[in-house]
Amino acid sequence: MYASPHTQNREVLWQQLQQFASETTKPWLLVGDFNETIGLEERNHGGPEMLRRCQRFKLWIENSGLIDLGFSGPRFTWTRGVSPLTRKEARLDRALCNMEWREKFQDGSVRHLLQAGSDHSPLLIATGRFIRAASRNTPFRFLAAWASHEQFVKVVKTAWAKNLPLVPKLDHLAKNLTTWNKEVFGNLFRRKQRLWARLEGIQRRLEMGGPWYLLRLERQLRRQLDSVLDQIASLWFQKARVEQLRDGDRNTRYFHLSTIIRRKFNRVTALKNEVGDWISDPQQIRQLVLTHFKQLFTEEGTITSEFHTPTVGFPCLSPSLAQSLQQPFSNEEVVLALKDMKPLKAPGPDGFHAFFFQTCWPVVGDEVCDVVLGVLRGDPLPPGLNDTYITLIPKVPNAEKVTQFRPIGLCNVVYN
């Protein structure tokens, strides 16, 4: 891909490519020098006219149904000028793909290499990850699709009947659900393939004048297929972490692509160290992150000055308000707090989303309330209740430095 430096010539190319995008359903990837950027943040220079150009280019990408693969490595791919006054930099080179390519190569990545012998950086394209992910045990995660199965409530009731404290009981339930998922619920995608194959065979038989009972079997299989498709949509909706449904109730492809893009955005493949060198070794990246946040949260000195509480200036509470604040918490307040939680936000170490507690409240509600109200009355926290995952979230697209990440804590729902 090489787009002309002249705006009019580029517009002709955009029209041709947009026409091609509307006519093909095969996976395709467009890589090279576009001589445009999608925003002023991709340049170190520009004004109002440049901003209008960026907006037109971004709109063309959206109208063509293309997805930017992002990048790792240096931020800019083109530089010119030998002094601070004449230096210009921009991300003119990129890789765009259609939805079919993104689905086919979910780990496809782009790396900006160092410039040598040209004012443009080479782009290295990988259809998989540049660095193989370290093998690890996948933690338990509750799946919202389980709740649609007719045996789900029975499994929860059976596991919940164990005479255990709340935290071990949730762990016991997680193990039971994991086994039940493998032995009963099964792989949704394999179930979908089997149902498609059976329906295809039945419909071919009916075309040749098959027996009437096949019509009834076809209706049953259609209902089962609809149920599986809804469960798959629920699965991808949960993984995508989008705020709402779009364009209907079953947008599996949209949720799937959202999941892929979100994972790519959150994955760290390379970072700059303190002296500006790029590092991509996973162990070195871990050490860089640990060192940074240890220094950030280490106390630098001892506060020697005494703090004196002011004796005046604080507003007084009315007697009725003060009395209301002293009232003991109730079960209704616990339920209200749970209902206010987003159902499928990232869970804590126990793996259970708020959706589980909201759905299974008739089974688990009394015990959850007993634990929560006991802690609010001054009882010690049950061991494991406040276990928390610490994870890093990029504050900007294509984060380059560890300072461009912020840590967040993922707490268990009952602790929240």
| Residue 222: count of CB within 10 angstroms of its CB | 13
More confident residue, 218 or 397: 218
**Average pLDDT, rounded, for the chain:** 84
How far from 266 is each of 73, 143, 168, 395, 405, CA to CA, in Å? 15, 21, 31, 10, 10
Question: How far is residue 146's CA from residue 381's CA, in Å, rounded to a whole number?
Answer: 30
Q: 341 with 354: CB under 8 angstroms?
A: yes
Question: How far is residue 398's CA from residue 41's CA, in Å, rounded to a whole number?
Answer: 12
What value does the mean pLDDT take over residues 319-345?
A: 89
pLDDT classification of 302: cutoffs 50, 70, 90: low
* Identity of the residue numbered 118: S
Q: Which of 3-17, 200-214, 274-288 has the lowest mean pLDDT?
A: 200-214
> Is 318 exposed, middle or buried, given 0-12, 13-18 or 19+ CB atoms closer than 10 A?
exposed
Sign of CA dihedral 282, 288, 294, 297: negative
pLDDT computed for residue 321 by the predictor: 86
pLDDT computed for residue 248 by the predictor: 46
Question: How far is residue 112's CA from residue 339's CA, in Å, rounded to a whole number?
Answer: 46
Answer yes or no: is pLDDT of 307 > 70: no
Q: Which of 17-21, 27-31, 96-100, 253-257 has the lowest mean pLDDT?
A: 253-257
More confident residue, 241 or 375: 375
pLDDT classification of 179: cutoffs 50, 70, 90: very high
pLDDT classification of 364: cutoffs 50, 70, 90: very high
pLDDT computed for residue 222 by the predictor: 84
pTM of the shown model = 0.60
Comparing CA positions, the residue from 184, 158, 183 lying closest to residue 173 is 158
DSSP sequence for 187-208: -HHHHHHHHHHHHHHHHHHHHT
Comparing CA positions, the residue from 213, 251, 217, 209 lying closest to residue 234 is 251
pLDDT classification of 247: cutoffs 50, 70, 90: very low
Structure tokens at 327: 């009232």
Q: What percent of the chain has pLDDT over 90?
A: 31
What value does the mean pLDDT take over residues 339-359?
A: 91
DSSP sequence for 276-306: S-EE--HHHHHHHHHHHHHHHTS--S---SP
Domains of the chain (ranges plus CATH)?
7-126 (3.60.10.10), 144-266 (no CATH)
pLDDT computed for residue 145 by the predictor: 87
| Residue 117: count of CB within 10 angstroms of its CB | 6
pLDDT computed for residue 36 by the predictor: 93
